[in-house]
């Protein structure tokens, strides 16, 4: 059974979605690949998973948390889940290219497939897809928008404050 709530953040409202009590979605407004509102389930701000996520996100936005420890339910193909697992291994304040992620998966030719899976990440920020950049260091697509991606990277690098 899915439930959702909306919380405030320095990047605008974030919709948190849980499935049977585990966080399965974090979506920004106007996010590419954002599911329909109807798929988020009933509103319920009291769910433990939401309180825990809101607390950790607040600590992250204050610069006090560098690694999330939330129970997640990542719904996707086996390949997508493998890519999302790799995203979670990118240290706070660092970036990796799509090619570097493909290499880490043991398939250097899969950088485009990695990019597609990255774009479908259902739990933005917590599963840090914003830390993936182009091979030449350029910002490339981000479901939450390139401006948000740049702001998140600047924040983690300590070069910008909210």
Residues serving a catalytic function are 129
Long-range residue pairs from 56-63, CB within 8 A, at least 24 positions apart, any chain: 56/126, 57/7, 57/9, 57/14, 57/125, 57/126, 60/125, 61/9, 61/10, 61/162, 63/155
User: Which phi-psi region, left, alpha or beta, contains residue 33 (left: φ > 0; alpha: ψ -120 to 50)?
Assistant: left
Tokens of 29: 């407004």
């Amino acid at each position: 059974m899915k439930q959702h709530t909306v919380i405030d953040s320095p990047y605008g409202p974030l919709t948190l979605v849980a499935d049977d009590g585990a966080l399965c979605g974090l979506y920004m407004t106007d996010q590419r690949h954002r599911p329909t509102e109807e798929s988020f389930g009933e509103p319920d701000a009291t769910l433990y998973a939401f309180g825990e996520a809101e607390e950790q996100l607040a600590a992250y936005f204050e610069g006090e948390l560098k690694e999330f420890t939330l129970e997640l339910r990542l719904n996707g193909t086996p390949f997508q889940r493998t890519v999302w697992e790799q995203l979670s291994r990118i240290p706070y304040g660092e970036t990796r290219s799509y090619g570097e992620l493909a290499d880490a998966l043991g398939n250097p030719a899969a950088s485009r497939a990695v990019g597609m899976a990255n774009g479908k990440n259902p739990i933005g920020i917590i599963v840090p897809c914003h830390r993936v950049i182009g091979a030449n260091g350029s910002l490339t697509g981000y479901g939450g928008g390139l401006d948000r991606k740049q702001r998140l990277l600047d924040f983690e690098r300590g070069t910008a404050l909210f």
